[in-house]
Amino acid sequence: MNAEVTAPSGESLVVRARGLRKAYKSKHALDNTDFDIGPGKIVGLIGPNGAGKTTALKAILGLIPFDGQLNVLGRDPRTQRDDLMKDVCFIADVAVLPRWMRVREAVDFVAGIHPRFDRAKCERFLSGTQLTPALRVREMSKGMIVQLHLALVMAIDAKLLVLDEPTLGLDILYRKQFYQRLLEDYFDEQKTILVTTHQVEEIEHILTDVMFIRDGKIVLDASMEALSERFTELLVNAESTDAARALKPIDERSLPFGRTVMLFDGVPPDRLSELGETRIPGLADLFVATMKGTYA
């Protein structure tokens, strides 16, 4: 019997993690990590290389042993993985499909193993591409492989979609198409998407929530709306630099012609507007400021 987990607000949680720990030799990939993911969210899990992103995804998918408490759609991935995967889909790097496989064989395979696969829906999506039933993976471009992946995934009525660097190595056109099709043809309030990527700017507009992970710990966990209310970027007037620094920015960077940009956490924008031009910071800038010193 599945034990439903609810948030303080009363909504059912898709993922609830408490005290997750996973070590590889002497390095902690997950270090007493806590986080929650609610339904109907598109969550970006973002961090530098080696921060623990993929380890967290593997734990959620039941692919690795770990310590701590983890509940995914009311199930423990360690002991109920087979049942869990009826409600979960996963896309990793585009190179995972066997190169000998034909399009029709990929469709047949997923139809045979997943109880919620809709063959007709998959074929409708494929009809809008250059993918033919007899085409082999080794004959496809990376963009075509992504289209096949997406067709297979969007035809599964899964409650949780996990994407680990799904557009790695693709050109910008295919990357934009990938995320647009996810929004138009897959996502709704009953589904949840968890995505990791290094291309922060390209997913920023589709995210509802974001988690920054560093050294196996979640260092920032908030909705995109909350971030826009909490953080402010200030293009400082030259004569106001000292006054702006007195408000203790969390980051500062220089621009050409002696201009300075400062990032503030929790300082009212109307107070900052007296010192220069204010704006909501981009997710990439916020990420860089949070991760400064990580590569030292």
pLDDT > 90: percent of the chain: 55
User: Does 273 map to a domain?
Assistant: yes
Q: What is the pLDDT of residues 14-44, one digit of tens each?
A: 999 999 999 988 788 999 999 999 999 999 9
Mean local confidence (pLDDT), 274-284? 93
> Is residue 9 predicted with pLDDT exceeding 50?
no
Per-residue model confidence (pLDDT) at position 92: 74
Its domain, for residue 245, covers 227-291
Rounded to two decimals, the pTM is: 0.86
> Is residue 6 predicted with pLDDT exceeding 80?
no
User: Does 58 map to a domain?
Assistant: yes
User: Does 80 map to a domain?
Assistant: yes
Q: What is the pLDDT of residues 235-254, one digit of tens each?
A: 999 899 999 999 999 999 88
User: Does 140 map to a domain?
Assistant: no
User: Does 170 map to a domain?
Assistant: yes
For residues 238 and 252, give the distance between their C-alpha atoms in angstroms, rounded to a whole number. Answer: 14
> Is residue 293 predicted with pLDDT exceeding 60?
no
Q: Which of 194, 215, 236 is the last residue of a domain?
A: 215
For residue 262, the domain's CATH number is 3.30.70
Q: Which tokens is 151 given?
A: 């067709």
Can you list the alpha helix ranges (DSSP code H) found in the chain? 53-60, 81-84, 103-113, 119-126, 142-154, 172-185, 200-203, 224-230, 241-245, 269-272, 283-291
> Is residue 5 predicted with pLDDT exceeding 80?
no
Per-residue model confidence (pLDDT) at position 41: 95
